Amino acid sequence: MTDRVLAKLVEVTSPRNPEAVVLVLHGGASRGDLVHVSPAQLSVLRMIPTARRVARAGRGRLAVLRLLNSFRGWDARHTPVADVTWAIGEVAERYGATPVGLVGHSLGGRAALLSATRPEVRSVVALNPWLSPADPPVATTAQVLVVHGLRDRIAPAARSAAYVERLGPGVHASYLAVPEGKHAMLRGGPDFDRYAAEFTAGALLDPAPTCSGPVLSALAGDRYVHP
pLDDT tens digits, 84-110: 999 999 999 999 999 999 999 999 999
pLDDT tens for each residue of 164-181: 999 989 999 999 999 999
Where does the pLDDT of residue 32 fall: very low under 50, low under 70, confident under 90, or very high at 90 and above? Answer: low
Alpha-carbon distance of 213 to 107, in angstroms, equals: 27
Domain-wise residue ranges, the chain: 8-225
Above 80 in pLDDT, residue 76? no
pLDDT tens for each residue of 128-151: 999 999 999 999 999 999 999 999
Alpha-carbon distance of 148 to 160, in angstroms, equals: 7
pLDDT tens for each residue of 38-61: 898 999 999 999 999 999 999 999
| CATH architecture of the domain formed by 8-225 | 3-Layer(aba) Sandwich (3.40)
pTM across the whole model: 0.95
pLDDT of residue 1: 40
